[in-house]
Structure 1
Amino acid sequence: MKVASITSLVSALVLALCLKGLHYFHLIKWNPIGFYKKWEMFEGSSKLFQWSFLILVLFIIGFLLFITLRYVYIIPAVLTSFLLGLFLSITLEWIVLDLPLQSSSFKKLSIPFMVIVICLLRFLLETANFHQKEHTAQKGN
């Protein structure tokens, strides 16, 4: 559990930093903390609190992914992280940008965001796979 917590925390911090950088350099067309206004949550709170809450949500999602995906160590992490990351990033941007179901909508998706999500999922999966294999090997001894 300690490894899962640390890995999820690092992943959440890096993703939040990358989201801030992508938004700052206009590589994504949406605000990472813009969902607070849309859902009318924490509108009067400070930006620090909003980013901290986002990091907490990303930590919980990363922790759950780490725990659930450590049991798929039979499938290579490259394939799993690529497919899952592509699916998650496209779905997230499709929902956030409220894109129509047309082939021209794919041009509006952010490739740097997809790459970051895929890389961070690979980090989570490789760590989970390594520790699951190590745990299995220690159990066998």
Structure 2
Amino acid sequence: MASITSLVSALFLAFCLKGLQYFHLIKWNPIGFYKKWELFEGSSKLFQWSFFILVLFIIGFLLFITLRYVYIIPAILSSFLLGLFLTITLEWIALDLPLQLSSFKKLSIPFMVVVICLLRFLLETANFHQREHTAQKGN
């Protein structure tokens, strides 16, 4: 179940990132780190996006497995805090922003919303399956 949930979240996040980039709601390229790190420069965009989806799948899978055991904390709170932390850190690194209060105006709210919603999806699914597993153990 973790693999299916992680695959769906990775595909949806990649699709949303491409849409956010297309409509100029984010000011950075989701696969732009290939140029920065000089990886797969000669390869096609399809391969670059496929590898990016694979990386998102692995990250989602690891999050699903590890956050399955924090079902005591409400998913809305943990997904909101973790989503804010991840998106602010990611955009700060991607945009190379200075550590000033005015830099917060350059952050993308739609990107934050997408990541928080996907984290909520992952956490709620993980919590549900953990509680179901615990209930079946008790029977």
**TM-score w.r.t. length of structure 1:** 0.98
Post-superposition offset of 1:13: 0.1
> Is 1:116 matched up with 2:122?
no
- The CA deviation string for residues 19-38 of structure 1, in whole angstroms up to 9 with x for no partner, is 00000000000000110000
1:6-85 equivalences under 5 Å are: 6-85=4-83
5+ residue gaps, structure 1, are: none
5+ residue gaps, structure 2, are: none
Q: What is the alpha-carbon distance in structure 2 between the residues aligned to residue 39 and residue 130 of structure 1?
A: 38
- The CA deviation string for residues 62-107 of structure 1, in whole angstroms up to 9 with x for no partner, is 0000000000000000000000000000000001101000000000
**TM-score w.r.t. length of structure 2:** 1.00
Q: What is the alpha-carbon distance in structure 2 between the residues aligned to residue 20 and residue 32 of structure 1?
A: 7
Q: What is the alpha-carbon distance in structure 2 between the residues aligned to residue 124 and residue 85 of structure 1?
A: 12
- The CA deviation string for residues 117-139 of structure 1, in whole angstroms up to 9 with x for no partner, is 00000000000000000000000
RMSD between aligned alpha carbons? 0.3
- The CA deviation string for residues 30-70 of structure 1, in whole angstroms up to 9 with x for no partner, is 00011000000000000000000000000000000000000
Post-superposition offset of 1:14: 0.1
Q: What is the alpha-carbon distance in structure 1 between the residues aligned to residue 19 and residue 42 of structure 2?
A: 24
Post-superposition offset of 1:110: 0.2
Give the secondary structure class of the aligned counterpart of 1:92: helix
Q: What is the alpha-carbon distance in structure 2 between the residues aligned to residue 25 and residue 91 of structure 1?
A: 22
Q: Percent identity?
A: 91
Q: What is the alpha-carbon distance in structure 2 between the residues aligned to residue 106 and residue 52 of structure 1?
A: 31
Aligned length, in residue pairs: 139
Q: What is the alpha-carbon distance in structure 2 between the residues aligned to residue 96 and residue 33 of structure 1?
A: 11
